[in-house]
Amino acid sequence: MVSENFYSKSMGSKSESELLEYYHHHSDYQEAAVLAALWELEKRGLAKPDILNLKSDLETRKVEKQEPTQKTITTNVALYSSNFILLFGVLFSVFAAGILVSLNFRELKKVKLARIFLLSGLAYSFLQMIVFSQFKTTSPLISVATSLLGVYLLNYYSAKEMPEDVKSTPRNIWYPIMIAVLISLPVAYILMKSIAPTL
């Protein structure tokens, strides 16, 4: 008989590749979530000997004790969606996207992760500036491509850190858009004035 824990219900709706992600990168996830994924693989008849060995190790540690209780479930948290973060980052900067990711984690009371993603976005944008300056490139295509890569990485790693039990609602997007536009307009005006004498 296959066991179940708090995460088993959500694992039942995941694909084989998503379940195997928990096995291949088990150190990145909570052990109770990994165990639920391994149980689901076993239920589907997809558990190979190495998967069963890991399952046995986790069961021995009794990781079910680490499961969250109903009191810890976070519901109706207002978060920015990954699609909006992607668009915002491409339009403005990877640092701007990092701010939104950071605000999401602050909403979840994960201050350390909020700082990490904020600094990661800042570091990536700074690195972009150095590379563009070094190679003297002003191509919008390269700028968009590198921004897409940076925001994709932010979304990918932030999703891995997002608690399984969070039920979120969309956060109002107009506030960050208005702030970004207000900041961008003076910058664009200064750039246009500096370029005008050379034209």
Average pLDDT estimate for 146-152? 93
In a domain, 87, yes or no: yes
**High-pLDDT (> 70) share of the chain, %:** 86
In a domain, 162, yes or no: yes
Average pLDDT estimate for 16-36? 88
Residue 12 sits in the same domain as residue 95: no
Q: Which two tokens stand for residue 50?
A: 């190495």
Average pLDDT estimate for 144-164? 90
Residue 150 sits in the same domain as residue 136: yes
Give me the number of domains the chain comprises.
Answer: 2
In a domain, 193, yes or no: no
d(CA 50, CA 33): 17
Residue 49 sits in the same domain as residue 91: no
Residue 147 sits in the same domain as residue 85: yes
Task: Tell me which of 47-56, 125-134, 153-162, 187-196 is least confident.
Answer: 187-196
Does the structure show a pLDDT above 70 at 195?
A: no
Residue 49 sits in the same domain as residue 81: no
What pLDDT shows up at residue 194? 62
Average pLDDT estimate for 79-84? 92
Does the structure show a pLDDT above 80 at 74?
A: no
130 is in which domain, residue-wise?
A: 71-171
**Confidence class for position 108, pLDDT limits 50, 70, 90:** confident
Cβ partners under 8 Å of residue 185, min gap 6 = none
Does the structure show a pLDDT above 70 at 2?
A: no
Where is the domain boundary, 66, 100, 115?
A: 66
Does the structure show a pLDDT above 70 at 104?
A: yes
Reduce the secondary structure of 18-38 to three states and give it as a string.
HHHHHHHCHHHCCHHHHHHHH
d(CA 132, CA 65): 50
What pLDDT shows up at residue 75? 56
Average pLDDT estimate for 51-68? 72
Residue 59 sits in the same domain as residue 81: no
In a domain, 181, yes or no: no
Task: Evaluate whether 26 touches 54 at the Cβ level (below 8 Å).
Answer: yes
Residue 77 sits in the same domain as residue 136: yes
What pLDDT shows up at residue 115? 95
Average pLDDT estimate for 97-119? 92
Residue 27 sits in the same domain as residue 98: no
pLDDT digits (tens, 9 = 90+) for 159-176: 888 887 777 888 889 989
- The answer to whether the Cα torsion of 42, 44, 45, 51 is positive or negative is negative
Residue 125 sits in the same domain as residue 80: yes
What pLDDT shows up at residue 181? 85
d(CA 4, CA 69): 15
Residue 57 sits in the same domain as residue 129: no
Residue 55 sits in the same domain as residue 147: no
Q: H-helix or E-strand containing 175?
A: helix 174-195
In a domain, 42, yes or no: yes
**Confidence class for position 196, pLDDT limits 50, 70, 90:** low
Average pLDDT estimate for 78-85? 92
